[in-house]
């Protein structure tokens, strides 16, 4: 006789979160208005000020989706990311600023882009330094402004981690990925290091990441 697979308490708790996120999205689609697009930022910036190839690929996909949807819908962007450092080298501007400037240069009105203003309002001095922070701010914007649909644009290699972060905060976005030949996120590290941190809600490790990326 075939028996159903045994599922751990952690597995079951995430199944419950997933079902809740689907219900929340269904409710939003019926009651809300407009669309929010989160374009996951990528560090380090080129010359400390401009999106690199990978970040630009995501922004360009965001522009394509925006242009397809904005004729009939109120569409807004959220570009996350405080000012980062990596290996002792600090960007000159925040990831949010770099992404916002790029979109404005492509004709997107500044008032249609949430960036540092949203980071500061929702996260304050804590800043936005990882996927958990990004998805948290995005979900708060989604709730505050009563959007009906949520889109995420990220790397294929970080897709599962971002999805889990969103589920953890109660929402399940439409997901789009933008790939280049060589991407920042290592899929093996994602599977064995990053995803387990999210599944286990390891806040200590999240703080280690924030501290390493925060410009002192």
> Mind listing the domains of the chain with CATH numbers?
12-213 (3.40.50)
> pTM to 2 decimals?
0.95
pLDDT-derived band at 1 (thresholds 50, 70, 90) equals: low
pLDDT tens digits, residue range 16-75? 999 999 999 999 999 999 999 999 999 999 999 999 999 999 999 999 999 999 999 999
pLDDT surpassing 90 at residue 165: yes
Q: Show Cβ contacts of residue 166 under 8 Å, excluding neighbours closer than 6 positions.
A: 21, 135, 138, 139, 150, 152, 172, 173
pLDDT surpassing 90 at residue 88: no
Token readout for 139 is 């979900």
pLDDT tens digits, residue range 103-131? 999 999 999 999 999 999 999 999 999 99
């Amino acid at each position: 006789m075939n028996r159903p697979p045994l599922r751990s308490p952690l597995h079951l708790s995430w199944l419950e979160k997933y079902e809740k996120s689907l219900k929340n999205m269904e409710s939003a689609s019926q009651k809300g208005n407009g669309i929010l697009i989160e374009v996951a930022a990528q560090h380090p910036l080129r010359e400390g000020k401009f999106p690199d190839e990978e970040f630009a690929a995501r922004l360009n996909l965001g522009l394509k989706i925006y242009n397809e949807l904005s004729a009939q819908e109120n569409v807004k962007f959220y570009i996350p990311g405080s000012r980062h450092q990596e290996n002792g080298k600090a960007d000159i501007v925040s990831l949010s600023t770099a992404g916002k400037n790029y979109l404005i240069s492509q004709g997107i009105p500044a008032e249609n882009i949430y960036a540092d203003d949203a980071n500061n309002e929702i996260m304050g001095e804590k800043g936005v330094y990882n996927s958990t922070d990004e998805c948290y701010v995005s979900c708060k914007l989604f709730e505050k402004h009563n959007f009906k649909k949520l889109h995420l644009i990220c790397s294929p290699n970080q897709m599962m981690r971002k999805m889990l972060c969103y589920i953890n905060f109660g929402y399940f976005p439409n997901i789009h990925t933008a790939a280049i030949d060589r991407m920042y996120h290592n899929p093996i590290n994602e599977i064995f290091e990053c995803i387990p941190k999210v599944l286990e809600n390891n806040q200590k490790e999240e703080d280690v990441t924030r501290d390493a990326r925060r410009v002192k």
